[in-house]
Structure 1
Amino acid sequence: MTVLLALMLAAAVVALVLGVTGGRRVGRVVLVAEVVMLVAMLDVHVPALHVVPAPFWALLLGGCAMGTAAVDRWRRRSRPGGDHLHALGMLLGAVFVLLAGGHAGARVGAAVDAGHSHGVVLLPVGVAVAVHAGVVLWNVVGGRVPRVESVRRAASLVSVLAMGAMVVVH
């Protein structure tokens, strides 16, 4: 779990740094949304934190996803190579926060029940993660975006995948 948390943190920081310093700045809305996702996952997964309840984080991440999608749609005319998949990654992050928040609040006796109640959701979420990862990799490997942007998107994808793995392992 510690390795996944460190991987998620490192990948998210790389994505943030490349978003700020990269050749094509991603914009403040995307950067704020990524910071919110990073803080939410840290709050949910680091046992000493748990400052804010997971449903609040999920709502905030859902709002960030909608804001990111709206800004991307609005700016699409001036930046045709925008990251249209970022909103899906944010929504997946919201789902991961909800799932992880249910595990974090579960007591030892209820941990098994919490795991089984999430089993129904894992298949559609797994499919969404696979589709998201496939499309991001298709864009990155296919050379459809500049190199720095490709690395940023790959780092963001690694961060989302680490979040999902933390939910499964937790």
Structure 2
Amino acid sequence: MTASYLILTPPGAPAAAENATFIRDGFRWTAFFFPVPWLLVHRLWFWGIIALVLQVAASILTDSSELAAAGFTLALAVSLLTALEGPQVLARSREARNWTLRSIVSARDLQTAEQIYYSAHATPEKPASAPTLPIAGTNTKAGSPPALGLLGYDGE
């Protein structure tokens, strides 16, 4: 089963930065069972407070016999919404703080996603340059490169 990974880099970091963040875009079971702690752990303070208020409201509604179904539905909706949309909110939050969305990679796990991303953004090593040999019979004045038997660049 493959998942999509959003790759974000901190402000000013190159694409192949080691501190790039990989966010799996998909259902999160931990966010489903613990929506408020999940949001707060990921520093989504605003959404965490809203989820807390809604969870408290759902708890109050559940205590009432007439509104128990509404309370259960509200609690389930908060959990589902956090589990499904939490990763997107996390990515948008980082983008709002000037992180750059570099790529989206489909892979079966995090290690494979990292391999795919970093192999595409690897910088090739520069080959060692061979020493240049002087050309016989050329005039090599300072500041004037050889012109291979033709006039020099400065019209000589």
- TM bin, normalised by shorter chain, reads under 0.3
Q: Pick the structure with more helix per residue.
A: 1
Higher relative strand content = 2
Greater CA radius of gyration, 1 or 2? 2
TM-score (norm 2): 0.28
TM-score (norm 1): 0.26
Instruction: For CA contacts below 8 A with separation 6 or more, give which structure has more relative contact order.
Output: 1
